[in-house]
Structure 1
């Protein structure tokens, strides 16, 4: 059997309806692929849906929710494609996006990993990349000498050379949810590879569907935890101390401001959510790093 051009890896958790649309959009593409779905112990009908409707998909079923990083790495170890495409289940591929991505990676050998243009279902653009890292203003020495201008790519839709993923050891499994794409992007740049962006490859992204049943405060807790983990892995102790001090001061100021304005607002729901967020930030950035 000929080597596939692209190994597509989708980590799924309770998104059967969206996963079906995602897989259907992949099968409309005219590129040689192999498709992995890693199911993180979904409690809906995801597994049955894949088995019934997409028999050629390589299905990996976990007994527990292993997290985003570990689940992706399970499929990476089995992938045979020249490129590995990490794709969220709450996405749909537009047009001939896979062919566009393949041509881009073939034409730019210095690019180790590239992101696509994410769009909302109404076709309005989403942010697909960032040019700065969290806390970067305090981390100039920690981030000196990195190639390219793009800092990191959002993990909903990223394609990478298989040898690059193997070179950096895949996703860091210390991350469970959030921060994995940030960490992977920086690891790749530290190995001398640039990051790329493919605006012609449009991917519809419903955004945050695996967390649709989580409370906002639960999501923020995971994000703060991942952010601190990123700092520990990539920044010096001196840099981290500066970042923590800045975040503590910001959280205190936001808390004071919101509390002052709260009595004058008719609908306080959103303000109270923000207040809870900044109290949580204060807890994380003033507490122990571990």
Structure 2
């Protein structure tokens, strides 16, 4: 009798009204070659979850339904629900599409650099309406400006115009956060800080891992496609989301003390009281 192959990579996805992109995300996971996967989806307060029940008949994932408890807490719940001891855990946004060989390349990257807790790559934009990659980059790593603002490097630049080499990063975009499990063991299941409801939890985890002596590796041969709406003008983003983002930045610098707190507080006050 043939034995089912043990999962080599575990994937945690937090969904919230993700019925447009989640089917594409899951189909891409099913097409991963030479790597067996464990998949857990935590639905955090979707208004209608019937689409998840339909997807569960087609794709091999375990489903957890909860209220909208925030991205960090939902990811932690998904991590605790994993049953395999696979060395690689990917925290994956539902609006990300991975090429068929992504997990195989990720394994090789992890094996080649044992000092890295996270291996990241090129995030290219994805057109959800046309269901195909765009010509523009979403992120090649997260960096900090001289005054304290964190930003996605190369965001909005044409893919053809950007050439990057392997390097270590200050922080990693959480859309595809591929971690070495041993680097997460010190947190006893609280991978992402639950004080963050939304935004900046990926940067906080990046800083925490680096403080422990781990590296965050950027490998340009790893390419994934991300359909987030970064193309929106700031005026089109709701005041509530802008407030949450500014508040998360204050929390970040409270946990990792820095003179950049001045920038974070100014931004938060401007958003809260001036609606900027």
TM-score by length of 1: 0.74
Query: Taking structure 1 as reference, are residues 107 and 17 closer, same or farther at Cα in structure 2, changes over 3 Å only?
Result: same
Larger Cα-atom Rg: 1
* Matched-pair contact (CA < 8 Å) for 1:25–1:93: yes
Name the structure 1 match of 2:79.
76
Name the structure 2 match of 1:126.
138
**Runs of 4+, deviation exceeding 4 Å:** 133-137, 281-284
Name the structure 2 match of 1:221.
243
RMSD: 2.8
Name the structure 1 match of 2:62.
58
Q: After the TM superposition, which residues 91-110 of structure 1 pair with which residues of structure 2 at under 5 Å, given as runs?
A: 91-110=96-115
* CA distance in structure 1 between the partners assigned to 2:173 and 2:10 by the alignment: 18
Q: Does 1:32 align with 2:36?
A: yes
Q: Does 1:174 align with 2:195?
A: yes
Q: Does 1:48 align with 2:48?
A: no
* Matched-pair contact (CA < 8 Å) for 2:200–2:245: yes
State which drifts further: 41-50 or 180-189: 41-50
* Matched-pair contact (CA < 8 Å) for 2:9–2:36: yes
Query: Taking structure 1 as reference, are residues 134 and 207 closer, same or farther at Cα in structure 2, changes over 3 Å only?
Result: farther
* CA distance in structure 2 between the partners assigned to 1:112 and 1:149 by the alignment: 11
- 5+ long unaligned stretches in structure 2: 127-133, 150-166
Deviations 1:199-257 (A, max 9, x none): 22211100149x9xx84322211110100000111105xx366446xx64xx7xxxxxx
Structure showing the higher helix proportion among its residues: 1
Name the structure 1 match of 2:22.
19
Q: After the TM superposition, which residues 261-272 of structure 1 pair with which residues of structure 2 at under 5 Å, given as runs?
A: none
Specify which of 1, 8, 25 is matched with residue 5 of structure 1: 8
Query: Taking structure 1 as reference, are residues 224 and 129 closer, same or farther at Cα in structure 2, changes over 3 Å only?
Result: same
Following superposition, the deviation at residue 75 of structure 1 comes to 1.6
Name the structure 1 match of 2:209.
188
Structure showing the higher strand proportion among its residues: 2
* CA distance in structure 1 between the partners assigned to 2:37 and 2:211 by the alignment: 29
TM-score by length of 2: 0.78
Name the structure 1 match of 2:170.
151
Name the structure 2 match of 1:234.
256
* CA distance in structure 1 between the partners assigned to 2:261 and 2:90 by the alignment: 36
